Amino acid sequence: MIYMEKNKEYVFEGWREEAVLLLHGATSGASQLRPLANYLNCLGYWVYGVNLAGHGTTKEDLAKTTYLDLIAKAEADYQKVKERHEKIFVSGLSLGGLLTVYLAAAHNDIAGIIPMATALDFVETCLFAQKHDTEYIHRPTGGKVGLYKQYHIHYEDVPSCFPQAMFDLADNFRDKSLVENITSPALIIHTKDDSTIYAKSSEYVYNHIRSTDKELCLFDSGEHLFVLSEQRYDPFDKIADFLMKRS
């Protein structure tokens, strides 16, 4: 329980008026994006780190979570931030990246979006794309070092039914052509060595959004969780530049 307590939601107060809402990846929690949150807060931005639906609590909660729950929680979090700030940027990683573009499709007043490794096309060999015969998929939490140990706080036992919620979310986004509703400025980030989500996911977003102010950045390395890797500095600087030019 103490382990999961590290995923408590947080608000970093800034001296600017603008806010950034951060949405983490699947089975992890708000802690995953704390390095990015700290970086942006040092630039004066208010930063809101939230937990996705079914995350930061128990594996049983995650097992009951549907794609509609994921959308509803992200929407509720956005509305809470909207109550306090007129200008909001939204960024998310993986599943959080997909929810970022969902929010952008519903709210064209978002000041800018930074979807990272948007979870649309899963690599077949990744944990979520494989078939599992057990109720839970054991994902050891030990053996991590550096920022991964400090901030990648995830469920050790992942409900084998949960990946379907992610697939449903991706299918719904494509089937309804929601990407075509997006007009906010966009910085779309992916790494070429991502072994969880294909980079073509981010290319799809870039090619189909109606934003005239958009950029696709494909970094050579950093893997799926580049936000916790030694390769995070260039993407972080790129994000900072994107925000500062639109603040």
CA dist 118 and 4 (Å) reads: 24
Whether the pLDDT of residue 67 is over 90: the answer is: yes
**Which residues, in sequence order, are CB contacts of 8 under 8 Å at separation 6+?**
30, 56
Q: Secondary structure of 2-16 in the HEC alphabet?
A: HHHHCCCCEEECCCC
Q: List Cα–Cα distances, 122 to 128, 129, 160, in angstroms.
A: 8, 6, 16
Instruction: Look at 25-29, 31-35, 136-140 and tell me which has the smallest mean pLDDT.
Output: 136-140
Check if the beta carbon of residue 188 is closer than 8 Å to that of residue 213: no
Query: 3 vs 190, which has greater pLDDT?
Result: 190
Span 104-118, pLDDT tens digits: 999 999 999 999 999
Q: Mean pLDDT over all residues of the chain?
A: 95
Check if the beta carbon of residue 19 is closer than 8 Å to that of residue 110: no
Whether the pLDDT of residue 2 is over 60: the answer is: no
For β-strands 19-23 and 88-93, DSSP reports them as parallel
Q: List Cα–Cα distances, 103 to 7, 78, 216, in angstroms.
A: 22, 8, 19
Whether the pLDDT of residue 3 is over 80: the answer is: no
Least Cα distance to 6 among 37, 30, 40 occurs for 30
Mean pLDDT of 9-25: 98
Span 167-183, pLDDT tens digits: 999 999 999 999 999 99
pLDDT-above-70 percentage for the chain? 99
Could you confirm whether domain 2-245 is CATH 3.40.50.1820? yes
Span 37-55, pLDDT tens digits: 999 999 999 999 999 999 9
CA dist 169 and 109 (Å) reads: 23
| pTM (two decimals) | 0.96
Q: Which two tokens stand for residue 90?
A: 């939204």
Whether the pLDDT of residue 122 is over 70: the answer is: yes
Domain edges within the chain: 2-245
Q: Which two tokens stand for residue 52?
A: 């996705």
